[in-house]
Structure 1
Amino acid sequence: MARLSDASTQTQTTIPAVLPGVHPILRKNARAHCYKDGTKTPEQLISDVFRNRVESIDHDQCDAGDEDAFFVADLGEVYRQHIRWKMNLKRVKPFYAIKCNPDPQVVRLLAELGTGFDCASKNEIQQVLDMGIDPSRIIYAQPCKTKSYVRYAAKMGVRKMTFDNPDELYKTKQFFPEAELFLRIATDDTSSLCRLSLKFGASLDCTRSLLELAKQLGLNVVGVSFHVGSGASDPNAFLKAVRDSRAVFDQASEVGFSMAILDVGGGFCSDLFEPMACVLSQALDDYFPPNIRVIGEPGRYYVASAFTLACNVIARRTIEDATTQTSAYMLYLNDGIYGNFTSIMFDHQHPVPRILRCGKRFLHGSEASEKYGTGPATVYSIWGPTCDGIDLIVEKAEFPEVIDIGDWIYFEEMGGLYTLALFLVLLNREFPLKPMVRVAYTKCSATRFNGFTDNHEVLYVSSEPGAAALLGFD
């Protein structure tokens, strides 16, 4: 199969409709139905797919698994986010962070749009390469790598990789001296949901010594990288990081390196994207001349809003309050924090439940105050299906409808949540943990706890003709 080179959006589609090289766990999750309709709004298109799917299920007679939770993914939203990026960050070439969402159709679309890819593990690199994407479009953005994975990167020609400590330089010298290295520096990520500089990144007081060691070892340091943390909320974090990067570029020049690339990492929030992009673009223009190439590593920015998850109410408990003579309910869904809601624990997310179908009423896109009902609000807590007491999705939600077994709840903005569960499975395949470990980093607790499966169907749609054409949707 011909590789997809580092080209523009004019690249010919060479990825097959069936993706034989995708990791088995991804191939299993890629059972898809594709739709497009340029005459409908994205919400109408998604709503039609939801309606067709849930109304086709007879809960009293369907086969086991037919009523499992499932996703509707609008790849047109990924397409729109890419155009938005290109309009606001003209200097920054995106290298999509596979760890955020390794969905094969998302990767296919972004490959056709000409992005690069940020891979943090051997499996992620393999997935991208197996889809026919050229290794020059990958950065191995993991400052602390397994030795055998460094050898694998060298064998596959993935030259760009990061480091932040002396031992990593010695490792690179031994196994991949031809690598193109990025010195990752620490940042002020106190305003981020997930603070990555607690784990990765060299402080400015040791960057010069690292550059001098790299020079002594005959290694090629081509740039600086940083990451302001996932879910960053302070645009000025980019300003300080760019300013610090300029200082390291100057150190590198004094040591004898001619750096040419700056990697501004990820942390881009869709809600704050324009102000973040404005601050970052101005900082880049102020501190780096046009001849310096700039790349970034957006993840959830691309996919969070593209995926919507539908869950079935599999059980219900009634909680009576004798004092107020009112009832509340505990709802149990067929997905939870050991599945597609892992980011409740890991990423401090608060998914918002909405009613998809209640009885015979289909309510996608309805607001509770307008169309759900007219009675007093009923209080619910929403739980996952496992026997673990921490498997709580929503502590309190109110709807003026009485939700019953067999009804459906949906959650928007699940593109990042969906894949963290999948990522943890892939992560555990690379770094196996003992199955008796109870924390949610294990394969068992990520997606197989109590035997509940991660085999969730994805129904793909495209609300953008451009995305549909690139993917070959009929």
Structure 2
Amino acid sequence: MDETIFYGESVEERIKRRFSESSTNRNMDSENPFYVGDLGEIHRQHMKWKSLLPRIEPFYAVKCNPDPLAVKYLASLGVGFDCASKTEMEQALYSGADASRIIYAQPTKQLSFLKYAHQNNISLMTFDSQEELLKIKNSYPEAKLVLRILVDDTHSAIPLGRKYGAPIQTVESLLHIAKNLKLNVVGVSFHVGSGCTHANAFYHAIARARDVFDQAKSIGFSFDLLDVGGGFNESTITSDKGATFEDVAKVLGPTVDEMFPSNNVRVIAEPGRYYVGGPAYTLCVGIVGRRTIEEGQTRKYMYYLNDGFYGSFLMPTLDKIKLNPKVLRKDGKYYYDHVLKDEKTYPCTIWGPTGCSLDCVIKDGKLPELNAGDWLYFEKFGAYSVTAATTFNGFEKPDMIHVNSFKE
């Protein structure tokens, strides 16, 4: 990863600089795919969060995109971190976050990771089972525990309740067990599912959390933390694919104030794709080969990229995200953010670079006639893309370069 940040440069200017550098630097592979991360977009998203949800502290979900420079930048802005493993906790601490700004939001924890959290004073963590309470009692009895409850997540792209979350009928028993074990349960968390499509899902989840707060009080606990989880989309998502951040904020902010009016209750959230799923990341991929298929009067092309299903496109493909490739460079000319006028398009299939026939990026596409050496780009490609990429068949993950377009 290139840790140089170019301030004031646009994404287009940085892309051109990248190609210029690769043509003159013998140590740089000019055919490698690469991301351009704009830290300025992340900054603008953070400012929007503070404006629309001032009471709720964002704890960035590192799993969404662990780009080291982005994590460091978020830490510098005062953002907390939602971590699920030792590696993610290490990264958050290394990036400058205090242990108090980290939640170990993994209801079922590996014992060695739990010990690492203990050694580094990362005390805030979730649980949803009796077995986890016993594990924590033996390894980290001073921890500040947050009960993750099951809520309705059917209105989401990826429901999580099949795996995590205590059913409401088990809550009383779990709280009594925690009380008998003399463990410090401090609050409630939930997750409405990744890519929430209905803002009202947060209303119903918060209402359930309010009931659990009241139930805990009757047992002798005094909760002071509410974690409203993730599921936040960015602002430009279309209404048929999900609720925009603005839609959610209109419901979430007032509902929190209505049901938890006391300032003694700290409220946090775990946004991931909200920060990095919009314009913050652009993926640039090169065409390394082409095959022409003539079928009667119809010409089709098969394009082979330097990145594919086993790389950056793994999670977007599984999420069934509609991919929209755009021409970046053709015959040596740049077309970033420009439409190729009067260019005839042809049916095409776009393949990744591996030897596996499942490595198909787009089955039925339409593009102008392109050649090996031309480049495409995919916008809004920072969420669950590079983080899930593999090195299957020996193909390396894309490089990462950065700009910062934020201006005070």
What TM-score do the two structures reach when normalised by structure 1? 0.81
The alignment partner of 1:416 has SS state of: coil
Is residue 450 of structure 1 aligned with residue 397 of structure 2? no
- Partners of 1:132 and 1:280 in 2: CA distance: 29
**Alignment correspondent of 1:34:** 5
SS in 1 for 2:43: helix
Q: Is the CA contact 1:119–1:141 (under 8 Å) kept in the aligned structure 2?
A: yes
Secondary structure of the 2:299 match is strand
**Alpha-carbon shift at residue 109 of structure 1 (Å):** 1.1
1:183 Cα deviation after fit: 0.3
> Which secondary structure state, in structure 1, belongs to the residue aligned with residue 154 of structure 2?
coil
Select which of 230, 234, 249 maps to 1:277. Answer: 249
1:321 matched to 2:295? The reply is yes
* Matching residue's letter, 1:336: G
Structure 1, residues 265-311: CA drift from partner, whole Å, max 9, x if none?
Answer: 01101130001011111211221113211000000100122110100
Partner-residue secondary structure (3-state), 1:197:
coil
Local SS of the residue matching 1:315: strand
Q: Does 1:410 align with 2:353?
A: no
Once the two structures are superposed, residues 340-396 of structure 1 have per-residue CA deviations (whole angstroms, 9 ceiling, x without a partner) of: 1111344332331100001132100013xxxx1314321221111011111111122
SS in 2 for 1:81: helix
Letter in 2 for 1:118: D
Confirm whether residue 297 of structure 1 aligns to residue 273 of structure 2: no
Report the alpha carbon displacement of residue 64 of structure 1 after superposing the two structures with TM.
Answer: 7.6
Q: How many residues align?
A: 398
- The question of whether the paired residues in 2 share the 8 Å contact of 1:193 and 1:348 is answered with no
Structure 1 residues 145-194: Cα deviation after superposition (integer angstroms, max 9, x where no partner): 01121111111100000000000000010000000000001111112111
Alignment of 1:386 with 2:386, yes or no, is no
Match of 1:419 among 380, 386, 401: 386
Separation of aligned partners in 2, 1:152 and 1:63: 38
- Given the alignment of the two structures, is residue 356 of structure 1 paired with residue 362 of structure 2, yes or no? no
Identity %: 45
What is the correspondence of 1:366-381 to structure 2 with a 5 Å cutoff? 366-367=338-339, 372-381=340-349
- Taking a change above 3 Å as real, the CA distance of residues 62 and 402 of structure 1, as seen in their structure-2 partners, is farther
Q: Is the 8 A contact 1:341 1:417 kept in 2?
A: no
Could you report, residue by residue, the CA deviation over 1:43-83 in whole angstroms, capped at 9, with x for unpaired residues?
A: xx111111232355559x96683310011111000000000
What value does the CA root-mean-square deviation take over the aligned residues? 1.7
Aligned match for 1:255, one of 219, 225, 236: 219
**Maintained 8 Å contact 2:22/2:28:** no
Counterparts of residues 4-403 of structure 1 (less than 5 Å): 30-37=1-8, 45-55=10-20, 57=22, 65-271=29-235, 272-291=244-263, 292-305=265-278, 306-322=280-296, 325-367=297-339, 372-399=340-367, 401-403=368-370
2:240 matched residue in structure 1: none
Secondary structure class of the residue paired with 2:271? coil
Check conservation: 1:143, 1:200, Cα contact below 8 A: yes
Distance 2:4 2:90 in 1: 25
Residue pair 1:344, 1:393 contacting (<8 A) in 2 also: no
2-side partners of 1:46 and 1:58: how far apart? 19
Q: Look up the match of 1:440.
A: none
Between structures 1 and 2, the one with greater strand share: 2
Alpha-carbon contact 1:73-1:461 (below 8 Å) kept: yes
Deviation at 1:420, TM superposition (A): 2.5
Paired residue secondary structure (1:465):
coil
Question: What is the identity, as a one-letter code, of the residue corresponding to 1:51?
Answer: K
8 Å CA contact retained: 2:75, 2:95 = no
Alpha-carbon distance between aligned partners in 2 of 1:205 and 1:261, rounded to the nearest angstrom: 21
- 3-state DSSP of counterpart to 1:173: helix
Paired amino acid for 1:308: T
The CA distance in 2 between the partners of 1:345 and 1:309, in whole Å, is: 15
| SS class of match (1:280) | helix
Unaligned runs of 5+ in 1: 1-29, 422-445, 467-474
Change in 2 beyond 3 A, CA 1:102/1:85? same
Q: Is the 8 A contact 1:69 1:457 kept in 2?
A: yes
For residues 386 and 394 of structure 2, what CA distance do their matches in structure 1 show?
A: 19
Instruction: In structure 2, give the amino acid aligned to 1:193.
Output: A
Q: CA deviation at 1:404?
A: 0.7
